[in-house]
Amino acid sequence: MGWAGKENGALLAVAESEFDVLITVDQKLKYQQSVAERNIAVVVLVARRNKIEFLRLLVPEIERILVAIKPGELCEIGV
């Protein structure tokens, strides 16, 4: 999508124009950005390692959260 060089604030701005939810492994995002004022929800994945075999284990919880999370909310899963 051409977003590789985008930092947190700019990334959230372009993401909220395209998506309802941003799923990330950036655990520092909640300290760096305020999601409450945004028109997007953020799901932060917390796993032992950021490799697909560890993240795949979070899929059932991701599916559960996606139906409940609202814009402006940040939810960490896997903790």
29-75 tens-digit pLDDT: 888 888 998 999 999 999 999 999 999 999 999 999 999 999 999 99
> Within 10 Å of residue 67's Cβ, how many Cβ atoms?
6
- DSSP symbol at 23: E
Task: State how many domains the chain has.
Answer: 1
- 1 within domain boundaries: no
On the question of pLDDT at 1 being above 80, the answer is: no
pLDDT of residue 9: 80
pLDDT of residue 79: 67
On the question of pLDDT at 4 being above 90, the answer is: no
- 62 within domain boundaries: yes
Q: Which amino acid is at 35?
A: V
> Domain residues for 53?
8-77
pLDDT of residue 53: 93
Three-state DSSP at 5 gives coil
